[in-house]
Structure 1
Amino acid sequence: MSIPPAPRHPLTFGNFRAYLVGRFAAVLAQYSMMIVLGWQAYNIARETMSTAGASAQLGLIGLAQFLPLFFLTPVTGWVADHYDRRAITRVTLALLTAAAGLLAFATYEGWVSLPLIFGIAVIVGVARAFNGPAYGALAPNLVPVEVLPNAIAISSVAWQTGMIAGPAVGGYAYAATPWGAYALAAGLYGFALVAMFFIGRVPQPQRDTSRHPVRQMIDGVTYVKGNRLVLATITLDLFAVLLAGATALLPVYARDILQVGSTGLGHLAASPGIGAAVTALWFSFRPMKTHVGLKMLGAVILFGLATIAFGCTAFLPRSIAVEVGIAALIVLGGADMVSVFVRQSLVQIHTPDAMRGRVSSLSQLTISASNELGEAESGFLAALVGPVAAVIGGGIGAILITLYWARLFPELRLAHSFDPPDIGRADIHQEKES
C-alpha cells in the first residue's frame, strides 16, 4: 500500500497555524509597546532635559532590555533544549502581558515615570531572553524540513506585518489615549498566550544528562564558531544593524527634526515593516534558492544606503522630507528582510534539533545586540554628535562592514544555495498530521 505524500505547504499543519497566529499577536504587541515606550520616555525626559539628554534616555532603554538578554543567553538556550518549549513561551507571554498591563494602569493613574519605564524594560528583556530561543527552536518542529524555508518566509510575513501594524497602531492609540496603547499590547500578549495552548505535542530533543549543563551551554558557541557560513550571516547582521540604527532615533526625528508628532511617528515606524512584509510575502511564494550569499551582501549594502538617505531628510524641505523618509525606510525594511531570511534559513536548516535552542539563543543575542544595543549606541552617539550625524554615519559604517565581511568570510560570497546538511531528518520532522 502506497503512503500518501506529505503536505507540501506549512499552513496544512494545525500546530503551525496556531503558532503563526500567536506569533503575529505577540509581535504586534511587542512593536506597539516598544514604540510607545520610547515615545513616552522621550517626552517625559524632554520636560526637564535637552534633546541630547533625552536621546541618551532612549539609549538607556535599549541597554536595559539588552543586558538581561546578554547575561541570560547561555541559560535560556540550554533551557529551550531541555524543557517543553511550549511551556516556556506560555510563561514568558504571561509575564509580558502583566508588564504591559502594569504600564497601562500606571499611565491611566498618572504615576508613570522614567524609573518605572526602565524597570519594565528590564522585565521585558528577561521575558524575551527566554521567549526568543523557545519560539525559534519550536518553529522547525511544526513542519517537515522540506517546507521549512516556506514556513520561515510565512512566519516572517506575520512578524513583519506585526512590525507594520504595531508601531502605527501604538502611535494612533497613544494619540487617542496614552494608556490605551499599553492596554492593547496587554490584550494582544494575552491572545498570543491563548494561541500557544492550541499547539499540541511536538517532538522534543532527548535530554543529555551525560555532561554538565555548563559544558552543554558552551556547545552552542562551539557549533556556531565551527560553521563559518552561519557565523558570517549572524555577525554581519549584528554589526550592520548595530551601526545603522536609524529606527532607534525615530522619536527624535518625529518630534524635533521632521516635527510630525505621535501620528507621524507611527507612519515612520511602520515603514520598514511595509518593505519587509512585501519582501517576505514574495519569499513565501518564491523562496530564495540561488546566490544566497551574494544577495545577502547586496541587501545589507542597500540597507546602509537607505539609512543614509533617511538621515539626509533633515536637509530636505519640509514639504518632501517626510515622504522621502518613508520611502527610504520602506527600502531599508525590504533589504533587511533579505538578510533576515538568509540568516534564519541557514540557522534553522543547518542546526540539529537537539542544539536549536542554544543556537537560537545566540542568534537572538546578536539580533538583540543589533536592535536593543543598537538603540543604546544610537542614542548615546546622537547625544554626542547629534541624531543626523549618528544616522548617516551608521549607514556608512554598515556599508564598510559589509565589504569587509565579504573578504573575511569568502564562504558567504560563494554560498550558492542553502544546501542543508544531513542533520537527522527524522529528528526534525513533525509527526504527520492528517
Structure 2
Amino acid sequence: MTLALPGLGAFRHRNFALFGAANFLATIAMQMQAVAIGWQVYDLTASPFRLGMIGLAEFLPAIGLALVVGPVADRFDRRRIMLLALGGEALCSVGLLFLAVSGHAAFWPILAIASAFGTARAFVAPASRAMMPSLVPPELLNNAVAWSSVSWQVATIGGPALGGFIYLAGPDAVYGTAAVALAAAIGMIFLVRYRRPAGSGKKEAIKLGDVLGGLRLIFSHKVLLGAISLDLFAVLFSSAIPLLPVFAKDVLHTGPEGLGLLRAAAGVGAVTTALILTQRPIRSRAGRKLFICVGLFGLCVITFGLSESFWLSLGALFCGGACDMVSVYIRGTVVPLATPDHLRGRVMAVEAVFVGASNELGAFWAGSMASLIGAVPAVVLGGSATLLVVLSFSRLFRKLATVDKLDTETLGFSGAEARDKVTPAGAA
C-alpha cells in the first residue's frame, strides 16, 4: 500500500521518510538524555548554578562553531557529516552510560560529555537542515517542513516525559535507551541516498570568505534577513515560558499539575497547527500571513500576561504556540528556498545561532525584566515590544511582507547573483 493520503506527499519519497525518522529518534534521544543529565546532576550537587552550567556547556559550542560548521556542511558530504556527528552523540551517550554503571558519575565528567555532545550537535543541525531540501521535489518542501516541525514538537513534548519515566529504572537506563535510539538514527541516515551539491568535496582549505559567506548572503537578501531577524526579535521579547512557574504559583494559584498543562499548551498548539499545515499548506500571501501570525503571537503573550484565569491563560499559550508554528513553517520554507544549495549549510548555521540565541537571551530577558518590574509587566511589555517589531519590520522588509508564493522562482537567487553576494569585491 502506498502513502496516497493528502498531506503525506513528502513521505512517498523513501529518502525523506528515512531522514525524518532518523531526526525524530535523534531528537527523542537528546530530550530524554537532557532530563536524565539534569536530574542526575542536581541529585549529585543540589546546585541550580551547576544545572545552568550544563545547559551552557551544551549551547556554547553552537555559538563558538557557528561560522565553521556551515562551510563544512557546504564543502563536504552532508550525509557523511550527519553520520559522524550522530556517531559522536552516540559515543557521548555511551560515555554517560559508563559513568552511571561504573559508579564514577560526577559533575565535571558529565559537564565534559555534555560539552562534547553540544559540539557534535552543532555539526548535525546545519548539515541536516541543508540536506532536507534535496530529498524532496521543490513543490513538496513546505510539506516536508511541516512534517519536520510536527516531528520536532512531538519529540520535544514526549521526549522529556519518556526520559522521566525511564529514569525510574535509573540514569543508566535512559543513557542506554538514548544510545540505542541514536544508533538506529545512524542506520537510517546510512540508508539515505543523497546527491552531494555542486562544489562540495573540494580539497582546498576553508577560507575566511567561506566562513563569512552565509552572513554576507543573509545581509544582502532582504527576504532572508527579514525572516530570520523577525523570528529572533519576536522570541527574544515574548519569552513567557521561563516565567511559567511564577505565573502558575503567584498569578493563577495552581500547583505542579497546572504548571505541567501550561508548559504543554504551546507545544500542543504548535503540533495541531503543523498537522493542519501538512493538509492545507500556505499557497499564497505567505509574507502577509507571516507578519499577521507574529503579531497575533504578541497579542497572545499580552493576553497571557494580563490573564488571571487558568483556562484563559491555557488558551492564550495554545494559540501562541499555533501562531508561532505558522512563523516557523514559513521561515523554514523561505530560508532554504531563498538560499542556493551550495550555500545552505552556511546560512542554516547562522540561522541556528540566531534561533538558539533568541531562546537563551529571551529567557535571560524575561528573568531580568521580571526581577526589575515584576512578572506580569515584563510579559505584557515583551508582547507589546513584539507588536512594535512587527509594525517596524513590515515597513523595513517590504519585500518579505509582499512575498506571495513559497517557491524558488519567487524567493531564490540565480547562481551568478549568489556568487556576487557572497564573494567580496576584489576577491578571486
CA positional deviation for 1:364: 1.1
- Counterpart of 1:397 in structure 2 is 385
- Counterpart of 2:266 in structure 1 is 272
- Counterpart of 1:235 in structure 2 is 229
Is contact 1:96-1:189 (8 Å) kept? yes
- Counterpart of 1:189 in structure 2 is 182
Is contact 2:71-2:206 (8 Å) kept? no
Change in Cα spacing, 1:297 to 1:170, as seen in structure 2 (3 Å) is farther
SS at match of 2:332: helix
- Counterpart of 1:352 in structure 2 is 340
CA positional deviation for 1:233: 0.7
Deviates more, 1:203-212 or 1:159-168: 203-212
Change in Cα spacing, 1:307 to 1:120, as seen in structure 2 (3 Å) is farther
CA positional deviation for 1:124: 3.2
Amino acid at match of 2:289: K
CA positional deviation for 1:339: 0.7
SS at match of 2:60: helix
Change in Cα spacing, 1:378 to 1:165, as seen in structure 2 (3 Å) is same
- Counterpart of 1:203 in structure 2 is 196
Deviates more, 1:283-292 or 1:171-180: 171-180
Change in Cα spacing, 1:78 to 1:377, as seen in structure 2 (3 Å) is same
- Counterpart of 2:60 in structure 1 is 67
Is contact 2:303-2:313 (8 Å) kept? yes
Is contact 1:19-1:195 (8 Å) kept? yes
Alignment pair present for 1:123 and 2:116:
yes
Q: 1:55-96 CA deviation, whole Å, 9 max, x = no partner?
A: x76665554333221221111000001111111112222222
Alignment coverage as a number of residue pairs: 404
Q: 1:215-263 CA deviation, whole Å, 9 max, x = no partner?
A: 12222111111110111010111121122223345567678986744x7
- Counterpart of 1:293 in structure 2 is 287
CA distance in 2, matches of 1:267, 1:147: 34
SS at match of 1:204: coil
User: Where do 1:32-51 residues align within 5 Å?
Assistant: 32-34=32-34, 37=37, 47=46
Is contact 1:250-1:269 (8 Å) kept? yes
Amino acid at match of 2:160: P
Alignment pair present for 1:370 and 2:364:
no
Change in Cα spacing, 1:195 to 1:210, as seen in structure 2 (3 Å) is closer
Q: 1:20-55 CA deviation, whole Å, 9 max, x = no partner?
A: 11111122223334455556667877x56xxxxx4x
Q: Provide the identity percentage.
A: 37
CA RMSD after TM alignment: 3.5
- Counterpart of 2:149 in structure 1 is 156
Alignment pair present for 1:78 and 2:65:
no
CA distance in 2, matches of 1:92, 1:233: 28
Q: 1:414 aligns with which of 402, 407, 412?
A: 402
Query: Larger relative CO (CA 8 A, sep 6+): 1 or 2?
Result: 1
Is contact 2:129-2:348 (8 Å) kept? yes
Is contact 1:220-1:362 (8 Å) kept? yes
Alignment pair present for 1:284 and 2:278:
yes
- Counterpart of 2:4 in structure 1 is none
CA positional deviation for 1:16: 1.0
TM-score by length of 1: 0.80
SS at match of 1:411: helix
Is contact 2:70-2:345 (8 Å) kept? yes
CA distance in 1, matches of 2:359, 2:174: 22
CA positional deviation for 1:98: 3.2
CA distance in 2, matches of 1:157, 1:130: 22
- Counterpart of 2:329 in structure 1 is 341
CA positional deviation for 1:167: 3.1
- Counterpart of 2:423 in structure 1 is none
Is contact 1:42-1:251 (8 Å) kept? no
Amino acid at match of 2:320: L
Alignment pair present for 1:87 and 2:80:
yes
Alignment pair present for 1:226 and 2:199:
no
CA distance in 2, matches of 1:388, 1:59: 24
CA distance in 2, matches of 1:99, 1:255: 37
Structure 2: gaps (5+ residues): 1-7, 416-428
SS at match of 2:82: helix
